[in-house]
């Protein structure tokens, strides 16, 4: 299970899966996530559905992103589809008593009983979207043609991380040749055009600073704030006969954390599952007072940019006056807590570290 079954994908099976999913769900609760991040209840709902599906034998393996340590697109898609069809499937299936009466007659009835109970457990429950966006009108002045919008995008990113991006922007009618966001006739609801969505999606994997700058390439738009809340990466060590199960490609998730993790693994001997869950916030905005990174795993672009690019970077920052703030908090099991504290101490940051109990 430490090997890749396809690109960036591991398959977890058997007794390690329930413990892994349960600790992920508990870790989300322990992180005390605000609305900067993807909706914790919805992500947790999908994790719980994955556990129920594995317990019921609906699926015999869980696919995990080998870089991010989270269930991957295939795993989230399966339970998303199950949530969508659960109600209709229950209406067409026989009742529970029928399958209970028949289950000893043929294996198919036992499987149908498990499936019915699974659908009953998840129907109507919160679940995570793979890709969800909405545009909200914050303020509209018909006289000046100025409109302020807020765009929210929640998605399972191509990097395997679960991300929420919030963009606050102003659109001025006099600057339009083509509207980026259209108001409906009531002047109260809005929808972004395809070109705008394409720009956001194309740059969703970048940090808030990159996204802030790229948004200004769109004509007629003034960006006030870009904010990202990221769930992941997750590192895990799951005891298993033979050798513990660990992420196969953590270096592609976060090289700095992966290096410390690899060293920690050399002396790790716990018989209990160990996890490190990361939760990053990243803001680029005009109202940020002080440019700072309190993220031990990611530096500010201004401190890491190459000398050959510095002049162009400074020119860009002068054109779009804003500041950047990065932060990260962690949820850890007891055995991995020392690893995270050492990483923070080495970086000189003061981060929230919650113990997963």
Q: How many distinct structural domains can be found in the chain?
A: 1
Helix (H, G, I), strand (E, B) or coil at 228: strand
Q: CB–CB of 17/48 below 8 Å?
A: no
Q: How far is CA 248 from the centre of its chain?
A: 19
Burial, 102: exposed, middle or buried (Cβ in 10 Å; 0-12, 13-18, 19+)?
middle
Burial, 135: exposed, middle or buried (Cβ in 10 Å; 0-12, 13-18, 19+)?
buried
In a domain, 239, yes or no: no
What single string gives the DSSP state of each residue in 156-210?
E-TTS-EEEEEEEEEEEGGG-SS-SEEEPTTSS-EEE-HHHHHHHHHTTTS-HHH
Take residue 246 and report the two structure tokens written for it: 């660990």
Domain span at 17: 9-122
Distance CA 157, CA 196 (A): 18
In a domain, 82, yes or no: yes
In a domain, 180, yes or no: no
In a domain, 102, yes or no: yes
For the chain, 357 residues long, give each residue's pLDDT as a single digit of tens: 778 999 999 999 999 999 999 999 999 999 999 999 999 999 999 999 999 999 999 999 999 999 999 999 999 999 999 999 999 999 999 999 998 999 888 999 999 999 999 999 999 999 999 999 888 877 877 776 677 888 899 999 999 999 999 999 887 765 444 555 555 555 444 555 666 677 777 778 889 988 888 877 776 778 899 999 999 999 999 999 889 999 999 999 999 999 999 999 999 988 999 999 999 999 999 999 999 999 999 998 888 778 877 887 788 788 878 999 999 999 999 999 999 999 999 999 999 999 998
In a domain, 258, yes or no: no
Task: Find tokens 């869980």 and name the residue.
Answer: 62
Q: CB–CB of 178/218 below 8 Å?
A: no
Q: How far is CA 6 from the centre of its chain?
A: 21
In a domain, 320, yes or no: no
The reported pTM is 0.91
In a domain, 100, yes or no: yes
In a domain, 85, yes or no: yes
Q: CB–CB of 28/162 below 8 Å?
A: no
- First CA to last CA across the chain, in angstroms? 26
């Amino acid at each position: 299970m430490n090997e890749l079954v396809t690109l960036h994908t591991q398959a977890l099976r058997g007794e390690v899966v329930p413990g892994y999913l349960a600790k992920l769900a508990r870790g989300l609760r322990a992180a005390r996530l605000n609305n900067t991040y993807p909706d914790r209840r919805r992500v947790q709902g999908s994790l719980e559905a994955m556990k129920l599906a594995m317990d019921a034998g609906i699926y015999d393996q869980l696919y995990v992103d080998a870089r991010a340590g989270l269930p991957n697109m295939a795993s989230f898609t399966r339970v998303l589809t199950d949530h969508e069809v659960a109600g209709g499937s229950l209406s067409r299936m026989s009742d529970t008593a029928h399958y209970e009466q028949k289950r000893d007659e043929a294996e198919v009835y036992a499987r149908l009983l498990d499936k019915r109970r699974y659908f009953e457990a998840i129907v109507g429950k919160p679940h995570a979207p793979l890709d969800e966006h909405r545009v909200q009108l914050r303020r509209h002045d018909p006289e000046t043609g100025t409109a302020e919008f807020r765009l929210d995008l929640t998605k399972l990113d191509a990097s395997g991380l679960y991300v929420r991006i919030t963009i606050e922007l102003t659109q001025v009618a006099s600057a339009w040749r083509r509207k980026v966001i259209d108001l409906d006739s009531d002047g109260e609801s809005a929808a972004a055009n395809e070109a705008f969505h394409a720009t956001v999606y194309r740059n969703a994997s970048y940090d808030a600073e990159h996204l802030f700058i790229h948004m200004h390439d769109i004509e007629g738009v003034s960006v006030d704030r870009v904010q990202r809340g990221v769930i992941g990466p997750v590192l895990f060590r799951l005891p298993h006969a033979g050798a513990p199960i660990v992420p196969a490609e953590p270096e592609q998730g976060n090289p700095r954390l992966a290096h410390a993790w690899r060293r920690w693994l050399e002396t790790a001997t716990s018989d209990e599952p160990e996890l490190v869950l990361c939760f990053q916030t990243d803001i680029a905005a005009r109202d940020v007072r002080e440019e700072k990174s309190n993220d031990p795993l990611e530096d500010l672009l201004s401190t890491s940019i190459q000398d050959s690019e510095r002049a162009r970077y400074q020119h860009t920052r002068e054109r779009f006056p804003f500041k950047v703030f990065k932060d990260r908090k962690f949820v850890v099991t007891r055995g991995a807590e020392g690893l995270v504290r050492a990483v923070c101490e080495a970086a000189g940051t003061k981060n929230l570290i919650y113990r997963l109990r």
